[in-house]
Structure 1
C-alpha cells in the first residue's frame, strides 16, 4: 500500500473534492439541500406509515425500515463531506475513520439485504397474489427485516476488526469524501493484503448475491406484467417497476464498480465520483421512487396533512377563546 511518509498518524484529513472556494461553497449548498431533502422525505415516510392503519402491511413495514436505514446511511458520510466543503478539509481520528467505515459498510450491506427482501415481497404480491397473505405473514416479515439488519451489521465485522489492528502512515490526507476502504488501506504502514482481500471477497458476496436475488424477482415480476391483458394496466405497472429498476441498477452498478474488484493501490477521481451515486444520489431517489410516488402513501400523506391543518385550526380557535 502507498506509504511515502513512515510517520504514524493518529488522524486523517478528508479532502473531499479539492476545488476553489466558490466551487466548494456551491457544492456545499447543493449537497446540503440533497441531504436535508433525503432525511426529511424519509422521516415523512416513516411518520405516515406509522400513523396510517391502512399502511400497516408487509410492503410498508419494509419501506419504513428502508427509510430508517437510509437516514443513517446518508448521515454516516454526508456531514463530513459538507464540513470538508466549508473548511477545505475535514479532520477525523483514526478510530473515527474506522467507525465511519464500519457504519457505512454495515448500513450498505443492510440496504442490499432490504432491497432483495422488498423485491421478493413484490414478487409474491404480483406473481402469487392469492397466496401472498398466507406466505408473507407478520412472523416472516419480522424475521426478514431482523435478518437484513443483523446480517448487514455482521457482514463487515471481521474485515473491520482486521483493519482496526493496522497502523497508518502519512501523508494523512485522504482523497475522498469519507473513510472508504480503499483510501484508508492505502495509508496502512503494515501489510494489508488480508484485510484488502477480505473486504473485496465479503463485499462481492453481499453485493452480487443480493443483486442476483433482486434481479430474479424483478424478472418474474416483469414476466407477470407482460401477461396483463389491459394495455393501461401494463403501462401503469411498468411505470412503477421501471422506476424501481432504474434506482436499483444505478445503485448496484456503482457499488459493483467500486467494490467487486481488488482495491487499487492508487486513488482515482472516477471512484470518488461513482461513490457519490450510491452514497448521496440513490438515497435521495429512493424515497421518491419507492414511497412518494405510491398512491396509497400519497393519499395517506394528504390525509395526515388535512388532519394537521384541522388540529392547528382548532388550537388557534382555542387560543382565541382563552384570550
Structure 2
C-alpha cells in the first residue's frame, strides 16, 4: 500500500518575470500531522495545470489573490480519501478540491467535495469537460454571450481544454457555424474532424484578422476569447451588428514584460453596437446544476468527446505547466499521480 504519511508538494519559490522557468518553483517533502477531528486525508489521482495559474504567480491585482512565496501552488485536483475523521466522507470517497499541487493532501472536510465515480469515465473528466473547464465554456456561451440558434461563433485557443468544450457546447446550443483558431495544423484538423467545428485556422499562417475573414466571410455574431491580442482585434473586425464577446482569457499576454498594444479598431464597438464582457466562473456558480444536467445528458447521448494530455508523476508537474503555457497540450493538460 502506498505510504500517505508524507506529501510531496510544489511551492512557488520566486515570482516569474516573463515566461516562468523551473527555477521559480521548489519541490519539498513534508511529514503530515495526525488527522484531527473533522479532517480527511486524500491521495490525489490527477492534478490540474491551467493558464490562470500564471496570473496568480505575479504579485498583481486580479480576481483572486496571488500565490504567496514559499506556499504550495493551489488549484483543482481529484483523489480518494485514504483516512477520515468525519462522518459522511468515508475512506474510498472520490473528492474534488482546490488544494492543488501535492500527491497527498489533508484538511478540513469542508474543503473537499464528494463526486460520483462515473462508470466508464476516468476521474480526470471532473477536472475539465465535466468540471470547471466545461462549465466555463457553458457560462461564457449562455449567460455572457447569450448565443442564439443559428449564429456564427468564433472561439480562440480552440484546441485547448476550454476551447474544445466550447466548440461542442456551441453546437449543442444550436450555433449555425463554429470557427476556431489553434496553433498547429494537427490541432486545426482535430477541430473539424473531432470537435464539430465547421472551420479552423492556424494563427501562425498569417494575419489573424485576414484568416478569420476568410473563415467567416459573412462575419461572426459571438466571440469566445481565450487568447486576446490579435484575436480580439480580428473579432472586432469581423463582428456583425450586435455582436457579443465573452472574454475568458488572454493567454497571449500572460508572459509579456512589455505593455501589450490595444486593438486599433475599438470604434467598431460603437458603430456596430458590440458588447465585450469579461467574466470569471466564480461569479456564476448558480448555473452549476443546470450545466451538470445538460452536460451529463450530452455525454450520455454520445455528443461529447474530449482529449487529455497526461504527464505522469508529481515531480513533473512544473514541466507540464510550462509545456501547457507554450501550447504543448491537446485538450486538457493533467498530471497523473
- What TM-score bracket applies, with the shorter chain setting the length? under 0.3
Between structures 1 and 2, the one with greater strand share: 2
Largest Rg, 1 or 2: 1
Between structures 1 and 2, the one with greater helix share: 1
Tell which has more relative contact order, 1 or 2 (C-alpha 8 A, sep 6+).
1
